[in-house]
Amino acid sequence: MYKIHLQRPFGWLGRTAMAAALVLAAGCDQFTEVTTLKMAHDLNEQTPVHKAMVYMADRLEELSDGKMRIEVHASGVLGNERELMELLQIGSLGMTKVSAGPMENFVSEFQIFSIPFAFRDREHFWNVLEGDLGREILESSERVRLRGLGYYDAGSRSFYAVNRQINDPSDLAGMKIRVLESQTAMRMVSTLGGAPTPVSWGELYTALQQGVVDGAENNPPSFYLSGHYEVAKYYSLNEHTSIPDVVLISTHIWNNLEPQEQAWLQQAMDDSVVFQRKLWDEATQEALDAVKAAGVEVIYPDKEPFMESIRPMHESLRGQPVYELLQRVQNDY
């Protein structure tokens, strides 16, 4: 006997052969019962995040003695981040990974990660994420039918440009800078004097090449693996934001798991976080070495002028819920 949940036939999924693929199945034969979760994301298989998902799948199968499995589908075969989150919300997909930046469009608490210089350093950042506040932010997504299981490291985001060094905020004046689809990210670039320009990730290489934008901002592995270093020859490590990736599961799927299955899955997630952070550190150094070897000028600017320029943005948040979160981040950890 089989219990199967099939995806509904969305038009924008018609390009894949998986439109009716299995989301959560409990296949029972005379020997065993296996629960299979389908997980999709839009990154390629070279990334530390994808490798961590594969590690999580292996750990889950090990912890459950083969009773649970995760099928990981990479490279956006089932849609972009927003489309995948929508599939989770209706229970037509089990799990996904999204950037915490666009998550603020679904849940306001995630806005804290897009606020520049909200965290003092990497140690402070992880103290928050691994503490009570980090868990509260993850749980806040349940009200939109998305359960946060944990955070993956996505490093710190810094500016890169095609034709200009960025040593301080004044260098951003008049520059068209690609940003995430995040109101906070757009406001940050405006506050620093640039012109925020949302461009999809898949179109950014061409946008840099053709002058649609003058630069962008991202972490070193993404800057390298995307090939953007071939066009943008100046990389300024001002590290203005630390925006993690978030692993989500559909609350519909989560609530249909047995308590023991939930425990196995959460443990596999937690183990994969440790694995992914180590991979991320290695990938970051490899990326910086590679882009330098390719002729990119990596700049290490004084961060204080950027921090000073952004203080009015922090103060302008007074009276908003995210300002209370910012105060907790900066005062309680």
The string of pLDDT tens digits covering residues 58-92 is 999 999 999 999 999 999 999 989 899 999 999 99
SS3 297: strand
Q: 163: how many CB neighbours lie within 10 A of its CB?
A: 12
Q: Give the per-residue pLDDT at 31.
A: 58
Exposed e or buried b for every residue in 191-230, given b needs 16+ CB within 10 A? Answer: bbbbbbbebebeebbebbeeeebbbbbbbbbbbbbbebbe
User: Which helix (H) or strand (E) segment is 239 a member of?
Assistant: strand 234-241
Decide: 134 and 229 in contact? Cβ < 8 Å.
Answer: no
Q: Give the per-residue pLDDT at 105.
A: 86
Q: Give the per-residue pLDDT at 60.
A: 98
Q: Give the per-residue pLDDT at 32.
A: 67
Decide: 254 and 262 in contact? Cβ < 8 Å.
Answer: yes
* Residue the block writes with tokens 């002028």: 305
Interacting residues of 135 by C-beta distance below 8 A, sequence separation 6+? none
For 131, 171, 172, 233, the CA distances from 163, given in Å and listed in that order, are 41, 11, 12, 7
Decide: 164 and 171 in contact? Cβ < 8 Å.
Answer: yes
Phi, psi of 198 (to 5 degrees): -65, 130
Decide: 5 and 22 in contact? Cβ < 8 Å.
Answer: yes
Q: DSSP letters of 73-125?
A: E-TTTT--HHHHHHHHHTTSS-EEEEEHHHHTTT-GGGGGGGSTT-SSSHHHH
Q: Which domains does the chain have, with CATH numbers?
A: 2-154+243-285 (3.40.190.170), 157-242+293-332 (3.40.190.170)
Q: Give the per-residue pLDDT at 5.
A: 36
Q: DSSP letters of 150-175?
A: EEE----EEEEESS---SSGGGGTT-
**Residue 78, amino acid:** L
The neighbouring-strand residues paired with 40 are 73, 96
Residue 22 CB burial class (10 angstroms; 0-12, 13-18, ≥19) = middle
pTM of the model: 0.85
Q: Which residues of the chain have pLDDT under 50?
A: 1-22, 25-30
Q: 100: how many CB neighbours lie within 10 A of its CB?
A: 28
Q: How far apart are CA 47 and CA 27, in angstroms?
A: 31
Decide: 272 and 49 in contact? Cβ < 8 Å.
Answer: no
